[in-house]
Chains A and B, each alone.
Chain A
Amino acid sequence: MIVVQLDVMLAKRKMRSKELAERIGITEANLSLLKSGKVKGVRFETLEKICAALACQPGDLLEFRAET
Chain B
Amino acid sequence: MGEVLSIPPNPQLSPEFDKARAWSQILAFLFSVGYWATLAFLVVISAVSVWPESVGVAKNFIQGITPEPITVPIWGRVGGLGIVVVVFVPIVAVFHSAQRVFRHFARGEVFSASTIERIRTTALWLIVAGIIPPRPVLLIVGIAAYVTAYVMAEARRIADDNASII
Contacts and interface: CB of A to CB of B under 8 A. Distances in A.
Contacts of A3: none
Contacts of B166: 26, 30, 33-34, 39, 41-43, 46
Contacts of B165: 39-43
Interface string B24-48: 0000000000000000000000000
Interface in A5-64: 26, 30, 33-34, 39-43, 46
Contacts of A26: 166
Interface residues of B, number: 4
Bin chain A's interface residue count: 10 to 19
A18 B63 CA distance: 80
A39 B163 CA distance: 9
Contacts of B161: 40
Interface of A: 26, 30, 33-34, 39-43, 46
Interface of B: 161, 164-166
18 contacts: A26-B166, A30-B166, A33-B166, A34-B166, A39-B164, A39-B165, A39-B166, A40-B161, A40-B164, A40-B165, A41-B164, A41-B165, A41-B166, A42-B165, A42-B166, A43-B165, A43-B166, A46-B166
Chain A to chain B: the 7 pairs with minimum beta-carbon distance, closest first: A41-B165, A40-B164, A30-B166, A39-B166, A34-B166, A39-B164, A46-B166
